[in-house]
Amino acid sequence: MSIPNETLQAMIRSYHGFALTDDELELVRPELESYLQEVEKLRELALANVMSGRLLQAQEGGTP
pTM tops 0.85, yes or no: no
- CA-atom Rg of the chain in angstroms: 20
Range of the domain at 20: 5-43
Domain assignment present for residue 61? The answer is no
Condensed to tens digits (0 to 9), the pLDDT of residues 20-54 reads 999 999 999 999 999 999 999 999 999 888 888 77
Instruction: Note the helical H segments in 1-64.
Output: 5-14, 22-43
Domain assignment present for residue 26? The answer is yes
Domain assignment present for residue 57? The answer is no
- What local confidence, expressed as pLDDT, does residue 60 receive? 75
Q: How many domains does the chain have?
A: 1
Contact 26, 4 (CB under 8 A): no
Domain assignment present for residue 19? The answer is yes
Contact 48, 28 (CB under 8 A): no
What backbone phi and psi angles, to 5 degrees, belong to 26? -65, -25
